[in-house]
Structure 1
Amino acid sequence: MAHPTLSATDRARALDAMSGGPELDVLVVGGGITGAGIALDAATRGLRTGIVEAQDWAGGTSQWSSKLVHGGLRYLQQLDFKLVAEALRERELLLDFLAPHLVKPVPFLYPLTHRWWERPYVAAGIGLYDALAHLGAKVATLPYQRHLTAAGVARVFPDVKPGSMVGAVQYWDARVDDARLVLTIVRTAVRHGALAANRARAVDFPRDAGGRVTGAVVRDLETGRERTVRARTVIAATGVWTERIQDRAQAEGGLKVLASKGIHIVVPRERIRSDTGLILQTEKSVLFIIPWERYWLIGTTDTPYEQELENPVATSADIDYVLEHANVVLDEPLGRGDVIGVYAGLRPLLQPGTKGGGEPAQSTKISREHTVTEVVPGLITIAGGKLTTYRVMAEDAVDLALGAGRAKELPSVTDRTALLGADGYLALRRRAGTLGSAHGWDEEQVLHLLRRYGSAVEEILELVEQRPDLGRPLGGAAPYLRAEIVHACTHEGALHLEDVFDTRTRLTWERPRHGLDALDEIAELAAGALGWDADRRAAEVEAYRLRCAAEDAAAAAPDDAAAAAARAAAPDVLELVRRDAG
């Protein structure tokens, strides 16, 4: 089956088909992990499906997570074995079959600080965690727990602070490039017939004479044009924007969602000597120290957030909090000078009851982690949950849209539908040493590409064969290739420079100075792929520079209000593009 593309032309065609073609069975509003999963679930059941996202794909919470695929040890403490087992089954599916190119095993140390009673208590909990993961599994994807003394901890984590722990239990979970997972799911949904458009906002929800929602009025934010998309059912998966969508639909009740801010800092990989991560309990949250190829990701916080939802940012106090708690276990304390990147995201916290008060409607399916409900006839909202269980959430949402009878006749098949790039990935992985020899790439360069594209790396190879200059690494941003920037625009739906820096690469936070050292080269490549003239290219460059400066100013601010004001000083990229075009 041919690989689908999400170019600007494809996006325009999708909007035309949504509004000018036959009625959709399902219109998904929201292009984060949950919405993408719903679009894939609906499309693979043979439903005529559309998905729109007001920002970029994964533009909200789904690109700013802790980037973990895990069962959730904290739920074992709450004795919620069913929820943990569900999440661990999903973790195994992603690791073994659905997305082995994107989801990777990662070891963690669970520190022990008490000599006698703590080890058997933790061992029992993590032992149950391991047992639930392997229960019914065809293969043992991840190892079982391993016990370490203080000397053992020092061997596997040489930079541990002496005396900070008396030992540890090492266990395994998984990590994921969250934004790329969303992009991959959207492209897989398109592969199976879904119509997809980013930067397209649902601004109204028309109803028929009986009061049933019949679709949505969708505004193309790139052009300002509005069009009506007819759909039998609209499913809104908009996270912290859930109540805003319900208000637009004039729903009397609905789900109540509060925003909680979490931030992460990034430090160079060489700054901490270890190949294993750490999980630490703090008074406010769980702090993860997570190893990646070229850096460490450290977070998160968990604080109420009351500012504008679109552009949450880290404050100076947030960064100090993460550094302080990480330094509890690090022999060489981290300082501000070690931080090369920072990002913030909003977690949607589902509240009991409904927005209008009272109990949820009867047409509701409730999990401990998520709830899906029909807030008005024809409009379903889903909120809560976590990245790991996106597929289960999607299945619940489409089941509710279909109704019990039809859902039984047309069950979900996403547990048997590999994501784009998974098929053939393992065979290519074994050829990593020779796969890039024709282009002068070493094995690590090839592994970088395989971890991002899997077997869809063929698309990169085709671009390089057509234009050999695209096979060079970006100046100031290796190991990313020039071809990856073109591919982001031609295959993955990037419409602006910030789309390239945020979601198609991680340059905005994994490189010093937000990746600005590669800005001009990336702008040149994007301009060629998207047909920008000199004025448009200059506006895109200015927009990204202003945004980076605003985020740096926010990171020096003392609190959320001051940080939000600093971030708001940078205009939205569309404002600058329209200004220069006018």
Structure 2
Amino acid sequence: MSLHERPVPLAATSAATNDRTALSADRRRGDLATAAGRDFDLVVVGGGVTGAGVALDATARGLSVLLVEADDLASGTSSRSGKVFHGGLRYLEQLNFALVREALLERDLMVERLCPHLVEPEPFLFPFTSRWQRPYVGAGVAMYDLFRLTGPRSVPGHRHLTRRAALAEMPGLRPDDITGAVQYHDVRVDDARHTMTLARTAAGLGATVLTRTRVVGMLRDGQRVTGVRLHDLEDGGHVDVLAGVVVNAAGVWADEVQSLGGSPSIAVRPAKGVHLVVPADRIESRTGLIARTSDSVFIIRKWFDHWLMGTTDTPWDHDRGHPVASREDVDYLLGQANRWLKHPLGDADVVGVYAGLRPLLAGVPVRTPGARGSTDPATTAALRRDHTVVEQPAGLVTVVGGKYTTYRLMARDAVDAAGRSLGRTIPASSTDRLPLLGATGYVAVRHQRDRLAREAGLEPEQVEHLLGRYGALTPEVLDLLADRPELARPLPGASHYLAAEVAYAARNEGALHLMDALARRTRVFMETPDRGVAAAPEAARVMGSVLGWDEERRAAEVAAYTTAVEAERHAATMPTDDQAVRAWQTVAGAAAR
């Protein structure tokens, strides 16, 4: 049944919507208009990696699925992670062997089969400063390799290095006190694109995907949840949608969504993690680095033409929709980096800062041997990263916790629970054998790189960049250049990105706003010194040509984007979280007025 405050606009027809995997503004409007007339098996709340994973898993099992997200796909935690599939060396110290083994098998599966175009194995160096560390850390890394004896082994194993070999791998490492190292591999992932690709893959199998659509209430039949009330944040209006089961995969908002169905039985304790981005030439190294801190680990990892440095792990008691970094966070990370680097880094070296929240379950601490504050309730570094599935009240399944690497297992467990709630037998999960969009045929298309470059009038390196983002779909992006050659131009101030990528984001990838394109479909927001301000006007013009924006709308999008950049930058100069939040609110509030 439908309870509109005003009519939901009908869908317009476009060539982009002929492809079932394409997420366009027209398709969104049409799907929202028809959602009220459908009775879905599952409504999935949350468009992060877990929610998108649930949508794909359920659709692949033959269930009808609606995925709803209040903002953009991956706009929360899933675009602000450490951007790596990993087993988690530090979880070995928590004696959480099951989590490490599961995560390592998942990590290798991504490289071997599921999304080879979106991932890349990367080396990490664990430097030793005393001789006792080699047997202790070496045993942990050896266990890392042993855990995956029964699965694919697409990621290189570890090796021990002498002091000289360690410094040869990382010449930028301070030589003081270094006695040697062990080197192992984990896997880099573009988290935002991976999450979006999950959603597109689900859409191609028949799932309905609605962004900018907030769940504002639960429908009930007695004590059982039977659907959701949706608010369209783009065009206004409300729609009621029926479902056999509602799956709550809202991450840091999971307890708030669960409370819409009755008294919540979980409590999420958000933990803030901050990362810095510095250009590749600021650190002389062929390898990333991992080192112990007093209560966690510090990691420097390769990120295409940059390095990522992180992370922090502190409680966050403010607006979950707007985590911000503070001066304290930035100073801490620079200080950790400069403990190890021969040439110290400063503020001038930092081109990007981003903060995300981990959805940790409160009240599940673990003891980490040797870690300061590991049983202190005030620290979040001590909370488990396992996930939990809660099947209450009837008709509502909540999945929360976990880590990005194990999203597929979280999704599997949630859909298993949903099947029980539906009261019928459903097929077993098959997503371990289901390549994501762009994976099938990726190797063959990559072998055609030079030919594609010649035909498109691009450099081979530019096509290589596209292959690492779109995989076998790269020709779809290049096809845009045939009709609009001007889309071959790089974005101003962000020369690694073509205007065509912004057009494709709006036409096929569900980008509805400028921030969607510059922060998540591309990485302009975190990789350019001005955070994409110079690119914004041209990107808005390109998006507007696809989405039908007039001059006023384009100006509004550029202004909103610029304000968001200014607010985050201003916040990062403030000493504490409280002051950073007030600074962010001051800038954002002034712009709103």
Q: Scaled by the length of structure 2, what TM-score is found?
A: 0.91
Deviation of the 1:107 alpha carbon: 0.3
Q: Aligned residue for 2:5?
A: none
DSSP-derived class of the 1:287 partner: strand
Distance in 2 separating the partners of 1:146 and 1:262 = 29
Q: What is the identity, as a one-letter code, of the residue corresponding to 1:307? A: H
Please say which of residues 224-233 and 407-416 is displaced more in the overlay. 407-416
Contact kept, 8 Å, 1:15 with 1:196, in 2: the verdict is: no
Distance in 2 separating the partners of 1:258 and 1:213 = 25
Distance in 2 separating the partners of 1:71 and 1:290 = 15
Asked if residue 124 in structure 1 is aligned to residue 139 in structure 2, the reply is yes
CA deviation vs aligned residue, 1:28-74 (integer Å, no higher than 9, x gap): 00000000000000111110100000011101111100001011111
Q: Aligned residue for 2:7?
A: none
Pick aligned residue for 1:7 from 16, 24, 47: 24
Please say which of residues 12-21 and 171-180 is displaced more in the overlay. 12-21
Q: Aligned residue for 1:339?
A: 350
Deviation of the 1:164 alpha carbon: 4.6
Q: Aligned residue for 1:51?
A: 67
CA deviation vs aligned residue, 1:418-451 (integer Å, no higher than 9, x gap): 1000001112223323321122322221111011
Q: Aligned residue for 1:183?
A: 196
Contact kept, 8 Å, 1:284 with 1:302, in 2: the verdict is: no
Aligned runs of 1:382-421 on 2, under 5 Å? 382-403=399-420, 409-421=426-438
Pick aligned residue for 2:82 from 56, 66, 71: 66
Deviation of the 1:404 alpha carbon: 8.8
Pick aligned residue for 2:187 from 174, 180, 183: 174
Superposed CA RMSD in Å reads 1.8
Q: What is the identity, as a one-letter code, of the residue corresponding to 1:334? A: L
Q: Aligned residue for 1:201?
A: 214
Asked if residue 524 in structure 1 is aligned to residue 536 in structure 2, the reply is no
Contact kept, 8 Å, 1:67 with 1:177, in 2: the verdict is: yes
Deviation of the 1:262 alpha carbon: 0.6
Pick aligned residue for 2:227 from 196, 205, 215: 215
Distance in 1 separating the partners of 2:226 and 2:255 = 19
Stretches of structure 2 lacking an aligned partner (at least 5 in a row): 1-17, 365-383
Pick aligned residue for 2:324 from 299, 313, 316: 313
Deviation of the 1:245 alpha carbon: 1.0
CA deviation vs aligned residue, 1:108-164 (integer Å, no higher than 9, x gap): 00111112x22122222111101212x1224x3122211111211111111011115
Distance in 1 separating the partners of 2:36 and 2:181 = 57
Distance in 2 separating the partners of 1:257 and 1:460 = 40
Judging changes above 3 Å, is the alpha-carbon distance between structure 1 residues 314 and 570 closer, same or farther for their aligned structure 2 residues? same
Percent of pairs with identical residues: 48
Judging changes above 3 Å, is the alpha-carbon distance between structure 1 residues 513 and 164 closer, same or farther for their aligned structure 2 residues? farther
Q: What is the identity, as a one-letter code, of the residue corresponding to 2:193? A: R
Pick aligned residue for 2:340 from 325, 329, 332: 329
Pick aligned residue for 2:463 from 421, 424, 446: 446
Contact kept, 8 Å, 1:399 with 1:407, in 2: the verdict is: no
Contact kept, 8 Å, 1:127 with 1:145, in 2: the verdict is: yes
Judging changes above 3 Å, is the alpha-carbon distance between structure 1 residues 55 and 409 closer, same or farther for their aligned structure 2 residues? closer
DSSP-derived class of the 2:319 partner: coil
Aligned runs of 1:422-433 on 2, under 5 Å? 422-433=439-450
Asked if residue 98 in structure 1 is aligned to residue 114 in structure 2, the reply is yes
CA deviation vs aligned residue, 1:288-340 (integer Å, no higher than 9, x gap): 10112211010100011111111111001100000000111100000000000
Q: Aligned residue for 2:103?
A: 87
Deviation of the 1:457 alpha carbon: 1.0
Pick aligned residue for 1:372 from 389, 401, 426: 389
CA deviation vs aligned residue, 1:352-391 (integer Å, no higher than 9, x gap): 48xxxxxxxxxxxxx9700011221111111100111000
Q: What is the identity, as a one-letter code, of the residue corresponding to 2:306? A: Y
Pick aligned residue for 1:255 from 231, 256, 266: 266
Distance in 2 separating the partners of 1:147 and 1:558 = 41
Asked if residue 136 in structure 1 is aligned to residue 150 in structure 2, the reply is yes
Asked if residue 239 in structure 1 is aligned to residue 256 in structure 2, the reply is no
DSSP-derived class of the 2:332 partner: helix
Q: How many residues align?
A: 557
DSSP-derived class of the 2:534 partner: helix
Please say which of residues 51-60 and 473-482 is displaced more in the overlay. 473-482
Asked if residue 28 in structure 1 is aligned to residue 44 in structure 2, the reply is yes
Distance in 1 separating the partners of 2:264 and 2:68 = 24
CA deviation vs aligned residue, 1:79-117 (integer Å, no higher than 9, x gap): 3222211111111111110000001100000111112x2
Please say which of residues 8-17 and 261-270 is displaced more in the overlay. 8-17
Distance in 2 separating the partners of 1:470 and 1:127 = 49
Q: What is the identity, as a one-letter code, of the residue corresponding to 1:280? A: A
Contact kept, 8 Å, 1:54 with 1:202, in 2: the verdict is: yes
Q: What is the identity, as a one-letter code, of the residue corresponding to 2:182? A: V
DSSP-derived class of the 1:558 partner: coil
Judging changes above 3 Å, is the alpha-carbon distance between structure 1 residues 223 and 571 closer, same or farther for their aligned structure 2 residues? farther
Contact kept, 8 Å, 2:130 with 2:177, in 1: the verdict is: no
Distance in 2 separating the partners of 1:113 and 1:375 = 50
DSSP-derived class of the 2:187 partner: strand
Contact kept, 8 Å, 2:47 with 2:69, in 1: the verdict is: yes
Pick aligned residue for 1:293 from 293, 296, 304: 304
DSSP-derived class of the 2:172 partner: coil
Q: Aligned residue for 2:369?
A: none
Please say which of residues 222-231 and 406-415 is displaced more in the overlay. 406-415
DSSP-derived class of the 2:392 partner: strand
Deviation of the 1:550 alpha carbon: 1.0
Distance in 2 separating the partners of 1:378 and 1:409 = 16
Asked if residue 504 in structure 1 is aligned to residue 521 in structure 2, the reply is yes
Q: Aligned residue for 2:290?
A: 279
Q: What is the identity, as a one-letter code, of the residue corresponding to 2:185? A: W
Contact kept, 8 Å, 2:44 with 2:247, in 1: the verdict is: yes
DSSP-derived class of the 1:514 partner: coil
Deviation of the 1:473 alpha carbon: 1.7
Distance in 2 separating the partners of 1:388 and 1:166 = 32
Contact kept, 8 Å, 1:69 with 1:176, in 2: the verdict is: yes
Distance in 2 separating the partners of 1:3 and 1:454 = 18
Please say which of residues 186-195 and 106-115 is displaced more in the overlay. 106-115
Contact kept, 8 Å, 2:61 with 2:426, in 1: the verdict is: no
Pick aligned residue for 1:158 from 162, 167, 171: 171
Distance in 1 separating the partners of 2:177 and 2:203 = 50
Deviation of the 1:243 alpha carbon: 1.6
Distance in 2 separating the partners of 1:42 and 1:49 = 7
Contact kept, 8 Å, 2:395 with 2:421, in 1: the verdict is: no
CA deviation vs aligned residue, 1:168-208 (integer Å, no higher than 9, x gap): 10001101010000000000000000000111000000111
CA deviation vs aligned residue, 1:2-52 (integer Å, no higher than 9, x gap): 56111101111221232123x000000000000000000011111010000
Contact kept, 8 Å, 1:278 with 1:289, in 2: the verdict is: yes
Pick aligned residue for 2:555 from 522, 529, 538: 538
Contact kept, 8 Å, 2:28 with 2:209, in 1: the verdict is: yes
Pick aligned residue for 2:359 from 342, 348, 355: 348
Aligned runs of 1:471-486 on 2, under 5 Å? 471-486=488-503
Deviation of the 1:225 alpha carbon: 0.9
Judging changes above 3 Å, is the alpha-carbon distance between structure 1 residues 3 and 196 closer, same or farther for their aligned structure 2 residues? closer
Distance in 1 separating the partners of 2:349 and 2:577 = 23
Distance in 1 separating the partners of 2:86 and 2:424 = 28
Distance in 2 separating the partners of 1:404 and 1:77 = 37
